[in-house]
Structure 1
Amino acid sequence: MKKCAILSMDCLDDFESYDTLIEAPLLALGWQTETVSWRSKNVDWNNYHAVIIRTPWDYQDDAPAFLRVLEQIEQSSAHLENNLNIVRWNIDKIYLQDLEKNGVTLVPTLWHQRLTDKQLTCDNITSYFAQLNCQQLIIKPRISANADNTFWLKENEIAVKLPAINSAFANRDYMVQPFMENIITEGEYSLFYFNGQYSHAILKTPKNDDFRVQEEHGGRLAAIAPEAKLVEQATQCLDAIAKQHQMPLYARVDLVRFGEQFALMEAELIEPSLYFNMDNQSAERFAQAFVTRMNRLSL
């Protein structure tokens, strides 16, 4: 029996995780799983044949420390999925620029460095509205998860929210996007790929008077059969990722309707919820995709 560590965090009590659903199909294929927090000390990664990054949803609190742990795993005899190069590339959302260069349609974005010793002013943020030609903005960290430190902003709210924004981005690079109204009126689509193969799709909608689609923030989920254009653009994104790196074990491609097409919100390659609960066969597909990859490596 081979051993696989499922990389997680110290406590998942405030989160919805469905990774227990892959335990039985992996076991049936000869792989015993053990959940390990990325913050655990003195772990001998050589005791595992493989490590799958799954739910380290606090990594953004100390991204350098998280990457050091992944470096230790890659230096051991354990095989890491998704691999360190993909994580390093995907951990800062500026990776989206690489995908755009490969023809992927993005939500319009302004990229900014951390504030360090300066402060944003009302005029600075007013200029963001002008540059993006919108009435509502999203300002969020370039390294983030769970919608932490993400601001939904209208022009008449600038003065009230400015102190919190300056505090949030004093030591974080950040990005600015127009608020995509379709997230509220229609929702955000997530398509899941295992080893390059489409698995399933869901539509996520926020609760009333919110913009966050995560379950932890009251977001609602629905399994869907995606329209052809949606699959086409998600697959185009996956192909662009494969041009940058090898095909990842798993990818979640998040898109929102944008005129006559769809725009990429994010390509989640580090720790996305894969919503195995939304498709009865998805956990088995994931397990099979993982074992297929490991067999190619003779693990």
Structure 2
Amino acid sequence: MEHRGEAQVPLVLLATSREWAGGEPGHAALDAALSAHGLASRWVVWDDLGVDWGTAEVVAVRSTWDYDGRLGEFLGWASGVGPALLNGAAVFRWNTDKRYLIDLQKAGLPIVPTVSADTVFDVRAAADGFGLAVVKPRVGAGGRGLEVVADGKVWLPKPGGHPGPWVVQPLVESIHHDGEISVFVIAGRPVSQVQKMPSRTDIRVNEQYGGTAHSMELTEKAASLAASAVATVVDLLGEEIVYGRVDMMRYQDRLVVSEVELTEPGLYLDVLPLNALPFAEVVAARAYPRTW
């Protein structure tokens, strides 16, 4: 705990990357919400060797959006943080490899059909089976390395592209007119929803590729699917999921899960600043020691 005069104030460390050293977009809302709960919080870069993670009552991974090129180092760091880390290293190890979607598919959750591909020939076979397909790095963040494949029979990685392994999925046509829906689930409860749209020249909804996001009313179907997705993860892993974001799309006339972001899910605080309130509440519940 940090000392402010005679008072001891629980410390929350919010892990980020060097590119986002000041915090994720809209972080001021989260900073204020944590302060309103009487918590001291700091944004710290996850690979900064000068950070003493053991001083924090809670460590929350937020904008560590550079982990995909250094996964072993990132998971090693997470393992070393210990029980103060929300969601935790075991969840991150599972969630940072997009093969987790196949686990969810086998568990009966509706997802975008996903095939894991270790070789170029695996990619070609899967993409040819889907027709118009999307190839993504199995470990990837921010839409980096995604390719749209029109003819799987002749596919090769682009020069300088991702060397694999990959996942292969059908291109979901609704992305062009419906975009992607994200539901934020905190302490097992869906709390809010955004719609993300790609630009006219890309299928990625990420801002750096021209994507946009806006808040929308939390719908019953989306909330139900998001809650089911998180509950399925809990059943599979036997781990507590404190917070996450469930991305979904409309495929063959129903909502299906496209991602379950449990490692470093952006809270879209610049679009939904009220997301800071339930997030701060769940952090505070873990930061203050129980006396009963």
The answer on whether the counterparts of 2:181 and 2:247 sit within 8 Å (CA) in structure 1 is yes
Q: Distance in 2 between matches of 1:38 and 1:280?
A: 24
2:158 counterpart letter in structure 1:
A
Are positions 1:272 and 2:277 aligned together? Answer: no
TM-score (norm 2): 0.88
Q: Distance in 2 between matches of 1:148 and 1:189?
A: 20
Are positions 1:12 and 2:20 aligned together? Answer: yes
Q: Distance in 1 between matches of 2:72 and 2:182?
A: 28
The answer on whether the counterparts of 2:101 and 2:114 sit within 8 Å (CA) in structure 1 is no
Q: Distance in 1 between matches of 2:50 and 2:257?
A: 39
The equivalent position to 1:138 in structure 2, one of 115, 121, 134, is: 134
The answer on whether the counterparts of 1:86 and 1:245 sit within 8 Å (CA) in structure 2 is no
The equivalent position to 1:291 in structure 2, one of 277, 284, 287, is: 284
Please identify, of 55-64 and 280-289, the stretch whose mean Cα deviation from structure 2 is larger: 280-289
Residue equivalent to 1:162:
156
Cα shift readout 1:250-274 (whole Å, capped 9, x = no counterpart): 1100000122321110000011111
The equivalent position to 1:209 in structure 2, one of 184, 188, 201, is: 201
Are positions 1:149 and 2:157 aligned together? Answer: no
Q: Distance in 1 between matches of 2:126 and 2:76?
A: 35
The equivalent position to 2:76 in structure 1, one of 50, 68, 81, is: 68
Q: CA deviation at 1:102?
A: 2.3
Q: CA deviation at 1:163?
A: 4.6
Cα shift readout 1:228-281 (whole Å, capped 9, x = no counterpart): 222222221111012123331211000001223211100000111111232342
When residues 276 and 245 of structure 1 are mapped into structure 2, their CA distance, relative to the original with a 3 A threshold, is farther
The equivalent position to 1:127 in structure 2, one of 125, 128, 131, is: 125
The answer on whether the counterparts of 1:152 and 1:179 sit within 8 Å (CA) in structure 2 is yes
| SS state at 1:7 partner | strand
Residue equivalent to 1:86:
91
Q: Distance in 2 between matches of 1:138 and 1:225?
A: 29
Residue equivalent to 1:179:
171
| SS state at 1:80 partner | coil
The answer on whether the counterparts of 2:193 and 2:218 sit within 8 Å (CA) in structure 1 is yes
Q: Distance in 2 between matches of 1:35 and 1:25?
A: 14
**Gaps in structure 2 of 5+ consecutive residues:** 1-8
Are positions 1:111 and 2:116 aligned together? Answer: yes
Q: Distance in 1 between matches of 2:51 and 2:173?
A: 45
The equivalent position to 1:230 in structure 2, one of 180, 197, 222, is: 222
CA-based RMSD of the aligned residues comes to 2.4
Q: Distance in 2 between matches of 1:17 and 1:80?
A: 21
When residues 163 and 79 of structure 1 are mapped into structure 2, their CA distance, relative to the original with a 3 A threshold, is closer
Q: Distance in 2 between matches of 1:43 and 1:152?
A: 41
**Gaps in structure 1 of 5+ consecutive residues:** none
1:109 counterpart letter in structure 2:
T
Are positions 1:3 and 2:11 aligned together? Answer: yes
Are positions 1:245 and 2:238 aligned together? Answer: yes
The answer on whether the counterparts of 1:96 and 1:266 sit within 8 Å (CA) in structure 2 is yes
1:52 counterpart letter in structure 2:
A
The answer on whether the counterparts of 2:137 and 2:162 sit within 8 Å (CA) in structure 1 is yes
When residues 231 and 72 of structure 1 are mapped into structure 2, their CA distance, relative to the original with a 3 A threshold, is same
The equivalent position to 2:40 in structure 1, one of 3, 7, 32, is: 32
The answer on whether the counterparts of 1:17 and 1:55 sit within 8 Å (CA) in structure 2 is no
1:164 counterpart letter in structure 2:
K
**What percent identity do the matched residue pairs reach?**
27
Q: CA deviation at 1:94?
A: 0.9
When residues 145 and 210 of structure 1 are mapped into structure 2, their CA distance, relative to the original with a 3 A threshold, is same
When residues 31 and 271 of structure 1 are mapped into structure 2, their CA distance, relative to the original with a 3 A threshold, is same
| SS state at 2:63 partner | coil
Q: CA deviation at 1:16?
A: 6.0
TM-score (norm 1): 0.86
The answer on whether the counterparts of 1:139 and 1:151 sit within 8 Å (CA) in structure 2 is yes
The answer on whether the counterparts of 2:114 and 2:168 sit within 8 Å (CA) in structure 1 is yes
